[in-house]
Amino acid sequence: SRRNPTEDTPIKYSEIFKPLHEQDKATRKVLKQPLSKQDEEPIRNVLTKGVAGIGKTVSVQKFVLDWAEEKTNQDVHLIFPLPFRELNLMKEQKLSLVELLRVFFEEMKEMDISRLEKVLFIFDGLDECRFPLDFQNTGTCFPLLSSGSPPDQQQLIKSPLSVSIESQRSLGKLAFQQLKKQNLIFYEEDLRECDIDVTEAAVYSGVCTQIFREEFGLHQSKVYCFVHLSIQEHLAALYVHLTSMNEKRNVLKRNLIWRILLDVLKQNQVCRTLSDVHRHAVDQALKSQTGHLDLFLRFLLGLSLESNQKLLHSLVTQTGSSSQNKEKTVQYIKKKISEDLPTEKSINLFHCLNELGDDSLVEEIQQYLKSGAQSELSPSQWSALVFVLLTSAQDLEEFDLNKYITPDKIRDEILVRVMPVIAASRKAIIRCSEITGRSGEALTSVLNSETSSLRELHLTVNTLDLSRNKLEDSGVKRLSALLENPECKVKDLRLQYCGVSDEGCAALASALRSNPSHLRELNLSGNKVGDSGVKCLSAVLENPHCKMEVLGLLDCEVSDEGCAALDSALRLNPSHLRELYLSGNKVGDSGVKFLSDLKDDKRYKLQKL
């Protein structure tokens, strides 16, 4: 089901640093939501996200402009904009933040900013960063590894745009080669490699920005970039498309030797069709760990449509069957969607189908949803379902997995596919046999995510195995908030080696005190629970509603003090716990005696120790 009043309330860009309770007073009043501690804390870090061209940089510039014109945020003393396109140009230097500011802002050399209470640093273009960032080490925040020199001046060349067909091809080649390398800035040697005369680079000023940089007044070095990543992606796609159409050559292939070998093996027929180029583009986009080819792929596929072919007629010297190429590409994309892909990859492939004008999978799943029937879905249909739910205009209020599949048929791969929908839902309902392996890893990611919308999890499962995932205390706290709901019914909870301390254990114990009657087995082995954590668990065990039968605490840094707490709890509620595992702890003679006496006493259920 969907909701119109979203939990994520739109805010004004000028109010992004206000505490959350001041930003959405109206929404909280309507929904009667209480304030959390986090809501009352001042916001110190803000991350803007969105696809290229959506307006992230412009919003930040407007924020700075309004501040400079004394319209908003006058409590901020100084603002320092630091674009990564310029930071990337500094070579092999380690600078503290203050040293970096003095390089970029000469006025800073005589100023001590440590005395100012509110200073804002804007790092624009985080996705363009070419070096590791260390925000924790105050000594050296910027180990700058790229190339170039400190900026002294920036000059934009503003001459009329006049690009010939040959020049367009050279620009496209430059865009493509640098996109493959994930480079957003490039140098004179890169231009020469693409047959671009650096002395005539100003001709491209409508597309390319030339930045002059002076190093200590001795010499200048020039770097280049496209005015926007989307332009680079589009020109790269146009270059690949035209090279295929005009030269019958696939520039996406690995290297010249590889191309010649395939030509010989397939009698010079390899990659002679546009669909072959598309297939290579799809494969390379799927292999990308960063998604840097996703929009390039969509541009490339869109160029093959007949309507766009007409617009490109002056650039294309040879033509082919666009409908036949399109159908082959569509079928190949559908084949890939049916495979076990990460959700973000599947979603991009659905956008690719949309570029090609094929909505058959989406229409099929929409008809399925309207019918209300429950039939077994294919992998492609599961991907289509996830795409439809995640791209809907409205926010997801509730996701009940069992509306689409019976509990006995839920497998690990299905849970992995739908986990992004669970993360996007305020409330999720799942009834299945177990969540382990990859699905457990995926659920851990949801629990660790700051952006997850999940607030209620009605989970009925025999085994919830999140062991050996980096859940840590923060993740356990989110898990505990879900487990305390009476609708959450987990019989066997496995959290071995999850980086949990006594703090996380306290949160878990609090949840189990609120909802004690379902859990039968709990394994916390390999965590730094300590005596304080065991005391929290003991408070759960002494509750007469607690039905826990097996407790694993191997290698948990437990001493005699923790054993005494367990002994006391089991004497108060002796009727359930059968197995207690404490190997690898700092248990002395007194601790052993406490628990041995319980095991030997027939009034208690403890059988294994």
Q: Looking at residue 503, which CATH number applies to its domain? A: 3.80.10.10
What is residue 155's predicted lDDT score, i.e. its pLDDT?
34
Tell whether 453 is covered by a domain.
Answer: no
Interval 120-178: pLDDT, tens: 888 887 766 666 666 555 544 433 333 333 333 233 333 343 445 667 788 899 999 99
Tell whether 443 is covered by a domain.
Answer: no
Q: Are residues 25 and 128 in the same domain?
A: yes
Written as six digits, the tokens of 138 are 């105050």
What is the amino acid identity at position 9?
Answer: T
What is residue 218's predicted lDDT score, i.e. its pLDDT?
29
Tell whether 478 is covered by a domain.
Answer: yes
The closest of 519, 386, 382 to 460, measured between CA atoms, is 519
Q: Are residues 477 and 573 in the same domain?
A: yes
3-class SS at 503?
helix
- Please work out, in degrees rounded to the nearest 5, the angle formed at the alpha carbon of residue 296 by the alpha carbons of 294 and 299: 115
Q: Are residues 196 and 327 in the same domain?
A: no
Tell whether 99 is covered by a domain.
Answer: yes
Written as six digits, the tokens of 509 are 């114990």
The residue among 175, 192, 227 that closes a domain is 227
What is residue 599's predicted lDDT score, i.e. its pLDDT?
80
Question: Residues 497, 467: contact at Cβ < 8 Å?
Answer: yes
Q: Are residues 492 and 506 in the same domain?
A: yes
Q: Are residues 68 and 84 in the same domain?
A: yes
In CATH, what number is assigned to the domain containing residue 171?
1.10.10
Q: Are residues 549 and 589 in the same domain?
A: yes
Instruction: Please state, in angstroms and rounded to a whole number, the distance separating the CA atoms of residues 151 and 356.
Output: 44
Q: Are residues 17 and 129 in the same domain?
A: yes
What is residue 33's predicted lDDT score, i.e. its pLDDT?
47
Tell whether 240 is covered by a domain.
Answer: yes
Q: Are residues 174 and 291 in the same domain?
A: no
Q: How far is CA 509 from CA 372, 537, 538, in A?
A: 40, 5, 9
What is residue 602's predicted lDDT score, i.e. its pLDDT?
76
Tell whether 347 is covered by a domain.
Answer: yes
Q: Are residues 217 and 252 in the same domain?
A: no
Q: Are residues 329 and 235 in the same domain?
A: yes
Structural domain harbouring 100: 2-144
Ranges of the chain whose pLDDT falls below 70: 1-9, 20-41, 51-52, 85, 88-93, 127-166, 199-221, 254-272, 318-322, 374, 393
What is residue 306's predicted lDDT score, i.e. its pLDDT?
85
Listed in sequence order, the residues at least 6 apart from 51 whose beta carbon sits closer than 8 Å to its beta carbon are 295
Interval 268-298: pLDDT, tens: 444 568 899 999 999 999 999 989 999 999 9
Q: Are residues 251 and 134 in the same domain?
A: no
Strands 521-523 and 550-552: parallel
Instruction: Please state, in angstroms and rounded to a whole number, the distance separating the CA atoms of residues 504 and 528.
Output: 10
Q: Are residues 472 and 552 in the same domain?
A: yes
Tell whether 386 is covered by a domain.
Answer: no
Q: Look up the pTM and report it.
A: 0.69
Q: What is the total count of domains within the chain?
A: 4
Tell whether 302 is covered by a domain.
Answer: yes
Q: How far is CA 454 from CA 393, 424, 446, 536, in A?
A: 18, 7, 8, 26
Please state the separation of Cα 541 from the chain's center in Å: 38
The residue among 309, 328, 354 that closes a domain is 354
